[in-house]
Each structure stands twice: as structure tokens, then as C-alpha cells.
Structure 1
């Protein structure tokens, strides 16, 4: 039985009949007298042979007759049984007869006395033996305790030796760390010295604040604005006043922390100084924002200089604002009093000759003020007025500013008349509007191209399927060929629209110019009136040039439209020819600056109105045009000249008024071996396969066509018209497909987004991206997304078959995702 209770062993009566009494490390806290009192009480509490468990530093002292030692190491004692002692009665008091020995019975008395003494001696001997036995047991217990203590001391000594070695190791590490810390402290001290010298030498007042806007540090010039001392470090900024006017430093610091970006503003102080106050973020080395830095750059001298300059400029602008403009000072009757050099040069006169003339007479050749004259308005309301005025006799447009000049009484005495020539600006505005129109046309063309190419896609696909399904002697092959030819013409028309709207990439590639010329001829025939007879002379055997087909297209369209403009109304003949040409040393007078060699000669001529010599000299200048305002930008032939020059070519023009104009363009021809190398091999069969392909396109007609086409080629096809559903199916079994063909523009998930999610599930998955408008994504962008190839709609059966085979043969198995075996059968579609 186990009983828990509160018991005071000193005051309370002891328990009885205990089997075990554990009193470890308790007696050492009591005095010896109290120990002598408690040990008999422990003996009383225990049963016979009960156990007493003391601490390692405690013993039973002189109570060996009560307890026997069982285990010296753990100080376990067994209770001994003791005899009960009875009190002895006191002896009787002696009388005077003690000294008298009666003779009668003396022998008997002697024997009793001897027996008594013998018994006393025997009792004393027994007591001595008992004390000796107790002493021997105590000595044995002491010896065992000493042996145990010795073993503990030896163990402690070994532990101390180990601890000593560890302490020595720690001491060595501490010494090393201490050296490193000293080096770091030295580096920090040097950096601190450099920083302190930097701050002491700078003239910029700077104060560093923590997030609670407590002062962390400040430079000496700061004290001129905020009265700070070194003991103010750690105090809030709000505890200090400053000399700035209408500035809340705490609010500026809060704004910088809120916006997470620096701010700056000009401020002034009560003593007339000006500062450029900057509020910057205090960033730690880890990039965390840990406060704000306020800087105050003294710009007083600069402000005063600006004010003086501003006053001088204001006076000057009221007299002659802008020396490049036509500036005159006129009286209230609009007579010129003064004129600047620009006005004199414009009117090819001197200031003396201009003085006294009316401005409306000089500028517009009128006898009375212009109805929209800003001077009249300024004289009426005494304010500054501006107006755009077109001066027909000068052929220019001016932005006229009229600013009244007052005397001390506030009366208008003169008018500052500033006329700024904005002819070029108006022309550029017109060109900008034209460019914006072209941009809108380009955006429209892009949308048309995308939709039209998607429409053409099923036509090409099903036509190819029918052609491949027909026998070689079928009369329908010619009909299908006509359908495919019409589709190709439609595809070329889309490309021409994109070229016209400048939506295609500009790359110089080996190009057969006769193909580009034929495309332009088809477009010109549909664009020009029937009164213009187009006569082509194109050599199909002409060579190749390293050129941008779109820019060549642009050259021909520009020259063709210019020729049509020259023949407007009466009509005429437009001739376009292309042939090989060889330039030798003897031809240099005609083609000055050209290197000898092989060229392609492109000529565009018309029977229009022609041009005179002065026009021919400026024909390639930007902004120069012979067309009325609003009909031409003046950039067309300048762009043509720039394109030809960028192709390392040469352009010449000859013209005769009333006869017509001829443009000759020479472009370097590529070597014949390069031309033969670029010819596509013929007679190749359409590649096939048996892999598993996932097709995704939101156009159901295109999906069905691709599914049919790829199935004919031997592939196993799974198709979806919903990109989210396709992604869900792919995630269920990523290893099911060998290739994914996806459209670019789709609802839900675009082709780009679907590609990212597919590759996140299965890295290295071969993907082909299809688009009907390749300006939406370049090949480089597609490759960067992880797409293996980019296919432009509409494409033929041969094109998609070749692309699929190329991608599949160059694929690399993704790590961790097993490819499906070639023999595994797919589910039915």
C-alpha cells in the first residue's frame, strides 16, 4: 500500500510498521542533536528487518545497535531488533555500619561482595565488547565509504581531464574567433572612419531615421536646420523643431515609406535659404526597408541665379521671344517698330525697311487686319493670345503669339508679335495621323489574317486528303489542284495585306525576286484603275538576292502607286521588269559608287507627267513631296532609297516632263552555287508515323480536319476543342501522348498558357504551336516557352507531316516520365 500525506518528522508522532523508509539527503541539513532524535524515531517506525534508505553523504553515526549496513554504496540499512531495558532501582543509602565487618557471616558477605564485583566487571567487559563491535562496524562502513568515494573521485578526475581537454579545444576556438572578430572590428572601424570622414566632409545635411522616426545618425550640416547634438541619437524626430517653412518632416518620411520610393521637393527656411529636400528609403544589405534618410542640398545660390535668369528671360521674351522665330514689336496700330533677324531673313529685307509697315500687309498682303488676328484680341482684353495662321503668299503656317506690353500706368503701348514657323510640325502631324491610320489598318489586317487563315485551314486540309485519296488517273485531280491553287492565292493575298500593313518581320533571306514581283503585280492589278496598262517583263531565270521580301514588296508598291498617281486622269503604261545584270568597270559612270559584279536589275517606269531637274534633285529627301497637302507624307521615296541602301544596292531615277519617269534599282545577286543549294529537293514522299498525338483547337472544323489528316498519316489522335479539358485529360495520364499540337488563340487557356501547364506536368514534352497570325508570337518566343516548332496556318498536309516527323525524331524523353510503348493501343476517338 502506498499512502501520500503531509508529515512533519520533527513535531508529528512517527508512523509505525513501515517496510521502507527513504530519507535521502535530509539528515545533512539537520544538527547532530536533531539527527540523534530522528534516528531512534526511524527505528521505531520500521518493522523488524525494515529498510532505511539514506543519502550518499549520510550515516547512522553511533546508532549501529539499531541498524545494520546492507549496501555501503547506496547507504541501505536494515533495522535491528533491540532488547527492552528496564529502569534500575536506586541503591539504599549507606549507614555507619558499612565500615563494620561482622565476624558472624563475614565469609558469606565476602562471597556476595566478590560475586557482585565479578558481575560488574563482566557487565563492563560486555559493554566494551559491544562498543568495540560497533566501532569495528563503523570502521568497516567508513572504509567502504572511503573506497566508494575514492572510486567516485577517480571517475570525477577522469571527467575533469576530459573537460580540461574540451576546455582547451574551446579555448583555441575562442582564440581563433577572437582574432577574426578583432579583424572584423578593425575593418568595421576603418569603414566607420571612412564613413565619418565622408559625412564630415560633405556639405549635404543628412539625417538617418528608423521606422519609428527616431534619430539614428546625422551629418554636421544638419544642425543648421535641426538643432541636434550627439546625445540626441535615439530620440524621436518629433521632439525637435526645424527652420524649414511649411514642411512636415514626419509626413514626408511617412509618404516615402508608404509609396516605397524616394521623393524630392524644394523647400525654404526662415533665414531665406533654399534646399532640395530628398526623402530616401533606408535599406539594409539584405534589401529590407529599415527607415528613412532625409537629405537637404543647399540650392540657395542656384535659386537666386534662376530667379535672376527668370526675370531677365521674362523681359527678353516680351521683346524678342525665341530668336529662331519671327519676332516683331508693333504699336497699337499694328505698325512694326522693331524686327529681329529671323523676320528680316524671312522677308528678305532689313529692319529699317520693315519698320512702319503693317503686319497684315507684310505677312498676308492684305489692306486690313486679319479676321483671326491675335493682336486684335490682345488689344481688346489686354491678354496674351495665340492663333495658327496660314500665309498663302509665303507658303507657310505660323503659330502667332501676341503679348501686350504695358507702361507704368498699365496702358498698352506695344504688342510683342511672335510668329513661329510650324509648317513642318503641321506636316508631321498629318504624317502622324496617316501613321495612326496605317496602324489601325495593320491591326485590322492582323485580325482579318487570323480569321481568314483559319477559314483556309480546312480547305487546304480536306483538299490534300481528297487529292491523296484519289487514284492517280482520276479526272478530279485537276479540280482538286485548282482548289489548292485558289487556296494558295488566297494565302498569298493575306500575306500581301500583311505586307502592306507592315505587320510582318523584316529579315534578309535568300529571295527570288521574280516571285515577289509577281505578287506585287497581282496586287497592283486589283488596286489600280483600268486606264493604266501594266506591262510586266519578268525573267523567271533571274537569280536570287539576300533581301527582305517585305521591304522589296514595299519598294515596288511605293513606286507603282507613285507611277499611278503620275498617270491619274489620263491613264498610261506602267512597266515593271526584272533581269540579271553584270556591272563592269565601264559602267561606273552610270552607276557611280557601285562595286563591279553580278546584280539583279529591277526597273519601274511610267508614261506620266514626269519631273523637272529641281524636283529630281530633292526627290529622295524626307518630307519632300509634289502632292498637295493631305495627299502625301513625303516619306515614300525616302523610305525606298533607305531600303535599297540598306540592301547594299543602288537606285537611279531619270525623268522628262510630259514623257514619264524611270526608276532603276540594282541589288547584289547571290552566287549561283548558293542558289542551287537553296532549291528544295523534289520527289520526296510524305512522312508518316504511328505515335500518339493530342490535338487542341477551339475551331471544331479544324480539329476534325487535323484528326482525319493525322489519322491518314498513321498517327493515333485524341482531340479537344476545349483547352482546359485537354489539360485535365493530360494530367490524368501524362505519359499517354508523344506529341501535342495546339492552337495559339483559344478561350479559357491560350496556347502559351496551355504549353506552360503541360510542361510543368511533363518537362520535355514535344509541342507544336499553330497560329493564323504569326505577328502574335515569334519563333524565338515560341522556342523560349519550350515549344519545339511554330506552324503558320493555313498549312498543307505535307508541311504538317514534315513538321510532326521532325519534332518526333528530335524529341528527348523527359526525366521521370516514361514514354508510352510504340505498340500500345490508344482509345477510340
Structure 2
């Protein structure tokens, strides 16, 4: 029995104690807040007063600066001082100051100094005999830099805190210098005290003071403090007779940089407040401090008296509140105590009766709980078995009705477990066959168990679900015997639909994959664990040439792999059969295989491993890639040819650039040579100059060849004599051929002219001769070149050419090399076709020759045989009625004129040469090296010129743009455009622009004279 608690705790203390704590905290918080607010107000007022002191100090400082400046200006106005200052005469300067008064220096300031323009001190009122020395105080440096009045605070070595004012002194008579007056700011202390009501201390940092000089001044009674009083500072001036010790301690520990700071301390029952203001020199470096201090003891005492008064009032109120609440709570506590005693007596009597009844009930409950626990344990175990088993299990009574159904059975049959209890089994889920035909219960093996009491098993039967669907099942029916009587049966079954489907799918899959393998275009080969062929699809028969019957059971590698690869394959097979791993798995390999006839061909092979009970098998998919390899070979060859072609194109571009610059150089050489010939008589010098001209002409032709090589030298066709072109080509070729190749040439005279581009004729001959030399480079031989005129009386048919009757110039190039096979004779003019090794040619040479000859209306005849050499014969139509002698027009005297010509070229050498040639020809010449300036000149005087000759390639503005601008100003203006070479501008574009003459550099005097006359004499529109 539980003992009733007789003693109880009073509620008075738990309720009153928190109240007392709350009142005490409220009172303390109120007093603290009042003190904090008062302190903040005091600090703010103190900061404002310190800031006011700072402003007053600055005002005094500015007033003193103005007074010192006025005094200096009064001195500078004195004529005697001016003369003495100019003369740098100390005695005259001292005398002039004496005339102003016996104590002039003291009257005008604490110190008076005179400096020359180099800031050297040459006179001091305090030290008249002081040696000259260069001063470097900040105010003096600032005055020297700005040439204006400068001032600043500075700490003297003897401890004086000086205000220095420096005024430059510049006089009309010459000479310059500076006058400085200084004032000790210690005198500010009384005035600051009077204005602020604070005691004033002026301190300085010891770092700028010489201790010996300070000691001397202190001994003389000129210092207000002792050197040892402070830490890193000393007191220079003060208005307070005694210095508080606590104030000294603050100065020792708190003298640090900080523009305005406040202090608050107590000493000897006195309370002081004040603040620091930093004193800075012109460089903003701290020199010392202005300290303001005031006795606020009476204010502090008044504040604390008010706080104590308010605290006492608050405490009295709190005590009254405490007494009120305490008496009220105590009365309530006594009432609660009386009611609790009555309740305890009632509970005690009832508890005795309940205790006796409880003992009896507990004994009975214990017995029942044990029996229920045992029963629940057995039921739980049985249910756990039924619920967790993977098969469906249900029980039947002797009539075939359900007595229990586990969840798995209910799920497979599509019912809830409770739905089947008491229902007949056969008519519920075993009533029909899979095809829908009736299934009688006498044939049911489950009911047979109910009849004969034996175990029956069915491997493949059919149960129906609630929704009308069904599934294949395997089941076992076991009888239940109770006291010797057959009371029912237990049936366990499982769904074998997936198993049957898997078996069916396996058969279907095998048939499907056999069909796929049979129709695959790639060979599919299966190798067993002994390296023998176990499967061979139709594609394998087609690729390798063996039938399935010929290869099954035979060694795969001996049959299909070349013998030279056998050791490597045997090594890989051993590793594969041991571990099922190999380097070839997971990759696509290119390799060589053997077909039935023993011929090797390229294949692509992919291998995967297949693990069987007896060991590792391998499946290989083989693809014949003969065509792919051939196409890849062709593609690689074409890419190599393309790269070589691009390289040759880049070389051609470079050659074009070189030709452009070389033309400008040749223009100067040829021009000055012809000018020299005009001024030179017969003799060795003239012969030398003629050789220079001939060499220049050859160089000019060489430039044409370079442009032909770069395929950028397209020019209009003219009547051309090919003989010099062929000879020049052979001369160039000779230098590049080995000594084992002999050149033989047979070139007739007066062969006539053909309408052609000289550079293209050069290119044709060069290509044919280069091919011929290549055919003889190993064995040597003879390169034979013939040029002759032939007459074709009848039409001549040459492979792809048809030549009409008439006269033709025939160029024949023959070699004694390896010749051309008849099988490739029809392909030699195809683009990119070549018999040379990779990197030795692009296959474009003969294709270009074919194109050039065709465009000239000619034809090509090819003769040759293997090991007998090759001959190429080119036919070009001869111009009728044009002979060698008629085609050459020699003009000994160039045409002249008197017109006004504007000559424009950015090359100084060419502009000077052109001007001399045109003046020689009688023209009035204005030359310009800037196209911009030339345009401005023409715009200003468009009628002052009859002809404009301009270069094309110039900075800022090209010749083409200049011509366009000139024609816009004066339409129809005759213009001749010259160029060494341009990729973007040709004769057609020039004529379309309105230019009447387009010539290529270099020009001879005759060519320049002729083009000038041709353009000038052309009728104007």
C-alpha cells in the first residue's frame, strides 16, 4: 500500500522569491540605465568641448600666422633691408634692423631668419655670427616649392614648440630669398584657458628634442615640466600649477596618434575630465598634443546623490509591493493545507479495500496471460511460416472447402485471403482446362487425395484466377489425419508460367539468332574450348569460300590464319583458355585472313568470350574490308597530294611577293642605267652599262618566270617569239640537273610568232623538261628539245586534239628514260595522276600542260614505250603575216612632249629616277611621295596637270583609290597606273575604273615615253 504523504511544502517561498528577484533586477536595471545615459551625455558634451578647443587653437594659430606675415611684409618693404638683403651683407642687414629699433627681432617674433634662394641661412637675429648652412624645415621647403607664404608647426631641439612663417622675398632689382619668423606657441595656453575654461597643457614628443638642450633650458627656468615626468613626451606649457599624478600616468601610456581623444580619471577624491588634440607638422607627422583638463568633482557628486535618492525611493516601493504579495499568498497557502489533510484521510481508507481486491485479480491475470502467451506464440510461428513461404499453401476439409489460405496463395489466385474461406476449391479455381473445356473433379488429383488419403503431385496443371485469367502450376496434395480419420488435405503450389515461358523463349531465341546469323552479311564463327570451329554461318561461306561441312570440327587458326601469325595466336589462345581474357576482347581489330584458295585479304574482327560448362568458347564476327582498305589507300594518297598542292601554292604566293619587291628594285636599276647611257659616250663605261641593261632585262624575264611559277602572272596574250623563252628555260634547268643528263637543243631561226602568254609557254616547257629529267635521274640520259615550224597539209587527229591544216610551231621534248606503259597512256593528263612516289609530285603538271595547250588552240602528241623513252610534241598555230623582223619595232629616239605630269610613288629612289627621265623627255614634272598629299595638290590645282602617273601599292591610299578620287574631281583625266605586282588589282579593273594606261614595272625609257604619248594622244571624251 502506498503511504500517503502527511507533510507538504509551503507555496509561499516559491512564489515570493521570484517576485523579490524581479523587483531587485528592475531597480538595478533602472539605476544602471540612468547612470549609462548620464555618462553618454557627459562624454558627448566633453567631446564637443574638446573639439571646440581644437577649433579655438586653430583660430589662434591662423591669427598668429597673419600677424607674422604682416610683420615680415613690413620688413620687406624697408629699402635699407632690401639693399642689405640683395648684397647678402650681414652687417648692413643688422644695422638696418637696428634702425628699426634696438629689439627689432624680439618685437617681430621669437626669431627672425634670412635665407638666400638656395635656402641657405645667412643671417639670424638671435645668432648674428651663425655660419651659412642650408636649412631643410618643412615650411621653408614648401615656400621654395610654391613661391608663396608657407607656415607650419615645428619642434625645436631645445624643446620650443614653434610656429614658423616663411615668406619668399623677390625684388625687381634681382635676387631672391626667404624671410622666416617663428613664434613659440606656449604663449597660447593662457588664452586657450580663458576661452575654454579648461586647464591647458601643451606637450611635445621627446623624439624631436635634444635632451641636453632641454636640460639647459630647464635649468634656466624656461621649461614648465621635467624630462623624467612623462614617458615619451614632455610638458612645454601649462596653466595648472601642479600636475596630477594620474594625468602623468595617462600621458605615459596614451600618447599615441589619434586626432581627438578624451580622458577621465580620479585622483585624491577629485574627478577630472578632458581631452587630447594632436599637433601636426606640415607633413602631418605628430609633434605633440594640446591637452585640456577640468575638475568635475562637483558634477560627479551631484550625479551620484541623485542616483542614491532615486534608488532609495525605488527600494521603498519594492518593499511595500513585497509585503503586500507575501501576506496575500500566505493566506492562500493556509487554506490549501487544510483541504489537503481532508483529502489524504479519504484516500487512505479507500486504498486498503482496493489493495485486497488487487491481490486476487493479479493471481488470476497471471495464469490467463501465460496461457494466452503460449497460444499466441504458436499461432505466430505458424502464421509466420505460411506468410513467409514462397509457395501458395491452403487447407481443405473433407468436402474440399477452404479452411485456410496463406497470402501467397491468395495473391496468385487473385483473391483476398478471407474470400476463399469456406468456398469449394474445385469449382472456384480448378473447374476448366486451359482450352476452356470442363475439368471434372474425379480427375482432379487434389480431390483424389481426399478420396484415397495419399500424397499426389502434378508437375504441370492449370489454375484459374478470380479475373478469369489462368496460370500454369506445379502442386503437391498432402492428406490430414486426425485420430485415424481423414479430415482434409494441405495443398502447396507454385506458378510455373515464367519457367514455361523461359523455356519457350529459349527455343524461340535460338531459332531467331540462327536466322539472324544465317542472314548476316558478316561471317559469324563459333570456336569451342579446343580451338575447333563449332558454328559457321552462310556469310562465312561466302567470305572464306568454305562450306559449313568443310570447316566444322577443324582447327580454326590452322585453316584461316596465315602461318606467320601462328605463334602469336597460340600464345593468346593459351591465355584465353586459362582465364577467359585476352587483348583482343572488347576491341575491333584489323588483320589478315586466308580464304579457301590460300589468298590473303584484310578483315575486321570482333571477338567476345562465352563461358560454357566445359570451358571458354569464343564468338568471332569477321567482315571483309578489302574495298574499305582500297578506298582508304586512295583517300590517303589524295590527301597527301592535296597537302603537297597546298604547299606548292604557299610557295607560289611567296614567289609572287618576292617578284613584286624585285620589280621595284629592277625599276631603279634599269632606269638609272638608261639615264647613264644617255649621258655617256662610246667607250668601256658605255659597254659596261649596256651589260648592266642586258642583265636587268634578263632579271625582268626571270620575274616573269617567277610569276608564272606562282600561277599569278596571268597577262594578255601577245605575238610571242618562243625561241628566247625556250632557251632561257633550258638555261635555268641546266643548273638543277645532274651531270649524268645531257641537254641537246635544235632550235631554228625566224620561226614566226604565236599568240600566247609568255609565262604560260615557259611553264609548259619547264613542266615537260622536269618530268623528262625525273625519268632519267637514276640512269642518266639525253634530254632533247627541238623547236621548228611545220606545215600540216591535212587535218591531224591526236587523241583528244584535232588540228586544222596550216602552219604550226612544234616544240618537242624527248627523254631516254623508262618510258610510259600503254595501260596508263590515256590517264597521264588526268588531274592528280602520277607515277612518282609520295611527296615527289602533285600529279598536276601534265594536267596544267594539257589545259594551257588547249587554251592556245594547239595540240599534244605523245609517243613512247617502256624502257624506250618518251616524246611530247606540242603544236601551236603560227600567226600568219607576222615575221620576226616585222614584229620587232626599234625606236632609237623615244617620243617626247611638253605636258605637265604629276608623278606619285612612295619609293624615294623611284620618284627621283622617274622625275629625271620625264624631264629628259621634255615634260614638266611635279613629284610626290605621298598619295594623300598628291590628292590634296590635285584637288587645289586640277587644271595644272595634263597627266597623272602613280604607283599602285602605297601606304594610306593605294594608286587605285587615288585614281578614283582624281577622276571624281576631273572626269576624263589621263592616268597611268604602274605596279610591280598586285593580287587584287589588274588591268581589267584599272580600265573599268577609268584609268587609260596600266603598265608593269620595271619600264625602260622607251616604254615609259610610249605609254605617256599613247595616253596623252588618245582622244578625250
Q: TM-score, normalised by structure 2?
A: 0.41
Q: Aligned residue for 1:627?
A: 836
Change (3 A) 1:802 1:622: closer
How far apart in 1 are the matches of 2:591 and 2:955?
Answer: 51
Change (3 A) 1:801 1:615: same
Query: For 1:421-454, what per-residue CA distance to the aligned partner results, in whole angstroms no more than 9, with x for missing partners?
Result: 2222112111111111111111111110011111
How far apart in 2 are the matches of 1:664 and 1:651?
Answer: 6
Change (3 A) 1:622 1:351: farther
1:405 Cα shift? 9.4
Change (3 A) 1:697 1:763: same
Q: Is the 8 A contact 2:863 2:872 kept in 1?
A: yes
1:390 Cα shift? 15
- Work out whether 1:636 is the aligned partner of 2:855: no
Change (3 A) 1:554 1:424: farther
Change (3 A) 1:811 1:747: farther
- Work out whether 1:598 is the aligned partner of 2:807: yes
Q: Aligned residue for 1:734?
A: 942
Secondary structure class of the residue paired with 2:735: helix
How far apart in 2 are the matches of 1:364 and 1:428?
Answer: 34
- Work out whether 1:456 is the aligned partner of 2:666: yes
Unaligned runs of 5+ in 2: 1-515, 595-600, 611-616
From 636, 641, 655, the counterpart of 1:426: 636
- For the pair shown, the structure with the greater C-alpha radius of gyration is 2
How far apart in 1 are the matches of 2:668 and 2:982?
Answer: 18
Q: Aligned residue for 2:657?
A: 447
Q: Is the 8 A contact 1:610 1:657 kept in 2?
A: yes
How far apart in 1 are the matches of 2:589 and 2:1011?
Answer: 65
Change (3 A) 1:586 1:479: same
1:675 Cα shift? 4.8
Q: Aligned residue for 1:571?
A: 780
1:586 Cα shift? 10
Q: Is the 8 A contact 1:782 1:790 kept in 2?
A: yes
- Work out whether 1:466 is the aligned partner of 2:681: no
Within 5 A, what are the aligned runs for 1:304-315? none
Q: Is the 8 A contact 1:329 1:416 kept in 2?
A: yes
How far apart in 2 are the matches of 1:596 and 1:748?
Answer: 56
Within 5 A, what are the aligned runs for 1:700-715? 700-715=908-923
Within 5 A, what are the aligned runs for 1:50-89? none
From 492, 499, 505, the counterpart of 2:701: 492
Unaligned runs of 5+ in 1: 1-314, 321-326, 392-397, 814-829
Q: Aligned residue for 1:791?
A: 999
From 847, 864, 881, the counterpart of 1:655: 864
Change (3 A) 1:368 1:581: farther
Secondary structure class of the residue paired with 1:510: strand
Change (3 A) 1:733 1:523: same
How far apart in 1 are the matches of 2:1009 and 2:836?
Answer: 52
Secondary structure class of the residue paired with 1:600: strand
- Work out whether 1:479 is the aligned partner of 2:688: yes
How far apart in 1 are the matches of 2:886 and 2:603?
Answer: 62
Change (3 A) 1:757 1:469: same
Query: For 1:165-221, what per-residue CA distance to the aligned partner results, in whole angstroms no more than 9, with x for missing partners?
Result: xxxxxxxxxxxxxxxxxxxxxxxxxxxxxxxxxxxxxxxxxxxxxxxxxxxxxxxxx
Change (3 A) 1:592 1:493: closer
1:757 Cα shift? 2.5
Query: For 1:583-603, what per-residue CA distance to the aligned partner results, in whole angstroms no more than 9, with x for missing partners?
Result: 245987999954433222211
Secondary structure class of the residue paired with 2:898: coil
How far apart in 2 are the matches of 1:733 and 1:351?
Answer: 99
How far apart in 2 are the matches of 1:575 and 1:457?
Answer: 36
- Work out whether 1:746 is the aligned partner of 2:954: yes
Q: Is the 8 A contact 1:506 1:551 kept in 2?
A: no
Query: For 1:618-674, what per-residue CA distance to the aligned partner results, in whole angstroms no more than 9, with x for missing partners?
Result: 544444433222223333334434443444433233335444322222333332x14
Change (3 A) 1:685 1:339: farther
Equivalenced residues, count = 476
Query: For 1:455-502, what per-residue CA distance to the aligned partner results, in whole angstroms no more than 9, with x for missing partners?
Result: 11111111111222234x455332221111000111111111111222
From 850, 854, 876, the counterpart of 1:667: 876
Q: Aligned residue for 1:763?
A: 971
Secondary structure class of the residue paired with 2:949: strand
How far apart in 1 are the matches of 2:940 and 2:727?
Answer: 52
Q: Aligned residue for 2:648?
A: 438
Q: Is the 8 A contact 1:766 1:811 kept in 2?
A: no
Secondary structure class of the residue paired with 1:527: coil
1:811 Cα shift? 6.0
Query: For 1:264-298, what per-residue CA distance to the aligned partner results, in whole angstroms no more than 9, with x for missing partners?
Result: xxxxxxxxxxxxxxxxxxxxxxxxxxxxxxxxxxx
Change (3 A) 1:589 1:572: closer
Change (3 A) 1:659 1:809: same
How far apart in 2 are the matches of 1:334 and 1:556?
Answer: 66
- Work out whether 1:504 is the aligned partner of 2:716: no
Change (3 A) 1:763 1:621: closer
Within 5 A, what are the aligned runs for 1:159-558? 366-367=565-566, 413-415=619-621, 417=623, 419=625, 420=628, 421-471=631-681, 473-505=682-714, 508-558=717-767
How far apart in 1 are the matches of 2:1005 and 2:588?
Answer: 70
From 553, 559, 571, the counterpart of 2:768: 559
How far apart in 2 are the matches of 1:733 and 1:511?
Answer: 43
1:742 Cα shift? 1.3
How far apart in 2 are the matches of 1:453 and 1:640?
Answer: 27
Q: Is the 8 A contact 1:544 1:669 kept in 2?
A: yes
Query: For 1:389-447, what per-residue CA distance to the aligned partner results, in whole angstroms no more than 9, with x for missing partners?
Result: 999xxxxxx9987778999xxx9955464732222211211111111111111111111
Secondary structure class of the residue paired with 2:889: coil
Q: Aligned residue for 1:200?
A: none
How far apart in 1 are the matches of 2:559 and 2:662?
Answer: 59
How far apart in 1 are the matches of 2:661 and 2:908?
Answer: 14
How far apart in 2 are the matches of 1:719 and 1:402?
Answer: 79
Secondary structure class of the residue paired with 2:840: coil
How far apart in 1 are the matches of 2:976 and 2:1005?
Answer: 15
Q: CA RMSD in A?
A: 4.6
Change (3 A) 1:617 1:812: closer
How far apart in 1 are the matches of 2:899 and 2:721?
Answer: 37
How far apart in 2 are the matches of 1:549 and 1:699?
Answer: 29
1:617 Cα shift? 5.5
Q: Is the 8 A contact 2:796 2:803 kept in 1?
A: no
- Work out whether 1:698 is the aligned partner of 2:884: no
Query: For 1:659-704, what per-residue CA distance to the aligned partner results, in whole angstroms no more than 9, with x for missing partners?
Result: 4322222333332x14579714334631111222111111110111
How far apart in 1 are the matches of 2:551 and 2:884?
Answer: 73
Change (3 A) 1:709 1:570: same
Secondary structure class of the residue paired with 1:755: helix
1:714 Cα shift? 1.1
The range that moved more, 505-514 or 459-468, is 505-514
Q: Aligned residue for 2:927?
A: 719
How far apart in 2 are the matches of 1:427 and 1:762?
Answer: 58
Q: Is the 8 A contact 1:496 1:523 kept in 2?
A: no
Change (3 A) 1:757 1:617: closer
Change (3 A) 1:725 1:568: same
Q: Is the 8 A contact 1:382 1:412 kept in 2?
A: no
Q: Is the 8 A contact 1:331 1:415 kept in 2?
A: no
